[in-house]
């Protein structure tokens, strides 16, 4: 899930034969493989966004995807809806993204990364990692227990210092989704009174 933001994706193979898919496919074919870093370069596949569920990323057609490397606020948590909206703005319905799958989690969801291909501007021809965008904008914690992504901790620190997104009320007042899930309903009701979006 981007943990905490989900989208549904339709794999590129299911789009074959449509004029729009062919047009987008031609634009994606010009992206250099080197624009995808590390493990994602090997297994990336084009996919179309069909639904944003929450701040986590999930693909329900044909799979649900949990975004590696970040942990975003839960829907009922302070700033959860804003984090979801941020993902929805980046992953507009119908947008083609690059998905690299990396196994399954304990709940059977596919783990992976999402990159947003760019076709205009100074980043044309490159694919921008969604997880980094969420951390930089302050809508997710940098989190990946199995590996370290270069620069992710610095991205989070910069977002905290600038008071972006969920860091608006200060780093000390932000509660990770793991801790939030452990709170009872009374604690959740009293949490962050006076700090609103």
Q: pLDDT higher for 20 or 37?
A: 37
- pLDDT for 161 equals 94
Work out the average pLDDT over 99-128.
Answer: 83
The β-bridge partners of 70 are: 142
- 38: which 2 tokens? 């590390």
Q: Which two tokens stand for residue 189?
A: 């009701």
pTM of the model: 0.70
Contacts of 47 (CB under 8 A, 6+ apart): 9, 10, 11, 12, 59, 96, 97, 98, 99
Domains of the chain: 5-190 (2.40.50.90)
Tell me how far CA of residue 105 lies from CA of 66, 180, 190, in angstroms.
Answer: 8, 20, 32
Bridge partners (DSSP) listed for residue 44: 100
130, pLDDT greater than 70: yes
* Least reliable range by pLDDT among 20-34, 118-132, 151-165: 20-34
Per cent of the chain over pLDDT 70 is 65
Structure tokens at 81: 């809806």
pLDDT at site 63: 66
| pLDDT greater than 60 at residue 75 | yes
């Amino acid at each position: 899930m981007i943990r905490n933001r989900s989208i549904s994706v339709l794999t590129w193979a299911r789009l074959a034969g449509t004029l729009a898919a062919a047009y987008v496919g031609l634009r994606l074919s010009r992206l250099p493989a080197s624009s995808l870093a590390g493990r994602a370069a090997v297994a990336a596949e084009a996919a179309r966004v069909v639904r944003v569920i929450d701040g986590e990323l999930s693909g329900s057609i044909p799979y649900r995807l949990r975004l590696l490397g970040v942990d975003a606020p839960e829907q009922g948590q302070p700033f959860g809806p804003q984090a979801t909206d941020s993902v929805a703005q980046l992953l507009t319905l119908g947008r083609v993204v690059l998905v690299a799958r990396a196994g399954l989690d304990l709940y059977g969801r596919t783990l992976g990364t999402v990159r947003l291909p760019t076709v205009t501007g100074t980043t044309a021809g490159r694919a921008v990692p969604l997880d980094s965008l969420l951390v930089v904008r302050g809508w997710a914690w940098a989190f990946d227990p199995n590996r370290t992504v270069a620069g992710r901790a610095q991205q989070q620190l910069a977002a905290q210092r600038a008071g972006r997104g969920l860091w608006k009320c200060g780093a000390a007042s932000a509660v990770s989704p793991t801790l939030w899930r452990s709170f009872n309903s009374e604690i959740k009701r009293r949490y962050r009174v006076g700090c609103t979006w």
